Structure 1
Amino acid sequence: METSTPTFDQLPHVVSGLSEKLDRVLDLLEKAGIASHSKQAKPSRRLVYAKEACQIIGKSLSTLYRAVKATNDPIPSYKRGKLLYFYEDEIYAWIEGGRKHSAAPSLAETAAAITAGMKRRPRGGYNF
């Protein structure tokens, strides 16, 4: 191994040698499965417009606009100018997020839901 410092005239030769060594190291890393020579591709996300989003969720255009502006659990959307954009995978995730529980709610949960929706307490008390 050379320990002397290269001169200005030797720089192109030294850089080409380093480049070859780096290529060999990268090849060895690829064979070992540690590094890939090509860049990792981002997962592709398909952009859809409002009409196609309506077909995905099975609702009309006016219902879609109402769901976008909803205060509780709105459909994830993006707006540039006058157009609404949606990502297909986000729409499917939103649909899956609304999954109902398969088990029936208990009597205490049902009573809590009923009393939470009442505006005032009845005079006779609750009759559960």
Structure 2
Amino acid sequence: MSVVSETAAASAADAVAHFSRKLSVETDCWDVHASMRDGAADFVLLDVRTAALYAASHVPGATNLPHREIDQARMAAWPAETLFVVYCAGPHCNGADKAALRLARLGRPVKIMIGGMTGWVDDGLKLDRL
């Protein structure tokens, strides 16, 4: 028995529930890129880092809204059903988690773009600069 198999795998039903739930709260860089490239972006991409970091480089098409500035008044600019995809610097940063939590507490649909800026660059995708 290996270290991998010493803990039994989840049942198929448990795995379906787990991965469905996981995909309901996250997406990846390539899916965001492909949706935007194909004109199928049915979401608002939010860069939740500081304005200075956004100006230095950001994902093309992203709107800058630092996570600390997310509140009811700022979100009134978008219809209540708008899906937001948030990202920050990368796996070492929890800014996207903080933004997602703020949006969820405001009743807004939200997903995190896993990998953030690091994932975007790792996928070979280009960045914009102001």
TM-score, scaled relative to structure 1: 0.20
Over alpha carbons, which structure has the higher Rg?
1
TM-score, scaled relative to structure 2: 0.20
| Higher RCO (CA-CA < 8 Å; seq separation 6+) | 2
In terms of fraction of residues, the more helix-rich structure is 1
